[in-house]
Amino acid sequence: MMTDSQDMTDLAAASSTEKKEHPRRIMTFMRRSSAFTTSQQQGIDDFGEHYLLETENKRFDALAIFGRVAPLTVEIGFGMGYSLITMAEAAPERDFIGIEIHPNGIAQICYEAGQKQLPNLRIIDGDALLMLENYFADSSIDTVQLYFADPWPKKKHHKRRFVQTHNMQLIRQKLKVGGIFHAATDWEHYAQWMLEILDTAEGFSNSAGHGNFAERPDFRPLTKFEVRGQNLGHGVWDVLFRKES
């Protein structure tokens, strides 16, 4: 007869085996939410059906979604989405897809886009790495942008940072030749981390020259958060890397 302690030992061993066979993905973004504001609820109710993409068992189809084939920008983690709205308004010749997991930000950007009736913007509620792996075809994206992502400042959490060597190779796979990966952060340590990884990443070249940060390009809007930080003397660092092959 098996004892309780033996049961627990067997369960622990089985769990350990399962984890080795199916390792859990390291999460770079944590899902958080609070009660919707009135506008956020309206964003989901009135505009969600139009702006939120259904991605399960589907592949990105520009003609079906936007009615055209145009240069495509994909933003990972757009927060509340105000800068992405500004970019979509300023570049009607491009199409934009924002990927986010925070319900309030998703609802807010649906509201803002709906109020402006933006035709060149769509939203995905989901894990960015899974979307890149499964939804977008190889060599289908012109620009991938990552603005002010969680820097995971504690050393034990650095493995959660989005900019990692293997993630950059996934992005390289999805970018067209000549496509751009553009990231910005206000954490200097994360900025140096990104620069070191990207300067040695296979198939990428630094648009500002090896070892250099880029000037903020005109197409990246200044956010209220960024302006407030600059007024307090905080730095912001941009990196722009081009896919060479």
- The continuous run of DSSP H or E covering 240 comes out as strand 237-243
Rg of the chain's alpha carbons, rounded to an integer? 20
Residues labelled as active-site residues:
150
The pLDDT of residue 11 is above 80: no
pLDDT averaged over every residue in the chain: 88
User: Sign (positive/negative) of CA torsion 16, 154, 105, 75?
Assistant: negative
pLDDT in tens, 77-95: 999 999 999 999 999 999 9
DSSP conformation letters of 129-191: HHHHHHTSPTT-EEEEEEES-----SGGGGGG-S--HHHHHHHHHHEEEEEEEEEEES-HHHH
> Cβ neighbours of residue 136 under 8 Å, at least 6 residues apart?
59, 60, 74, 174
User: Sign (positive/negative) of CA torsion 193, 199, 203, 205?
Assistant: positive
Predicted confidence at residue 223, as pLDDT, reads: 79
Instruction: Look up the pTM and report it.
Output: 0.84
Question: What is the percentage of the chain residues whose pLDDT exceeds 70?
Answer: 87
| Mean pLDDT, rounded, for 134-146 | 98
How many contiguous H segments (helices) and E segments (strands) does the chain have? Answer: 10, 7
Question: What is the CATH code for 43-243?
Answer: 3.40.50.150
Q: How confident is the model at residue 32 (pLDDT cuts 50, 70, 90)?
A: low
Predicted confidence at residue 25, as pLDDT, reads: 44
Domain boundaries, the chain: 43-243
- Measured distance between the N- and C-terminal CA atoms of the chain, rounded to whole angstroms: 62
The amino acid present at 216, given as its one-letter code, is R
The pLDDT of residue 10 is above 80: no
Angstrom CA distances, 185 to 44, 71, 88, stand at: 29, 25, 21
Token readout for 13 is 């061993």
pLDDT in tens, 160-178: 999 999 999 999 999 999 9
Predicted confidence at residue 6, as pLDDT, reads: 47
- What's the rounded Cα separation, in Å, for the pair 16 and 151? 30
> DSSP letter at 33?
-
pLDDT in tens, 34-83: 799 999 999 999 999 999 999 999 999 999 999 999 999 999 999 999 99
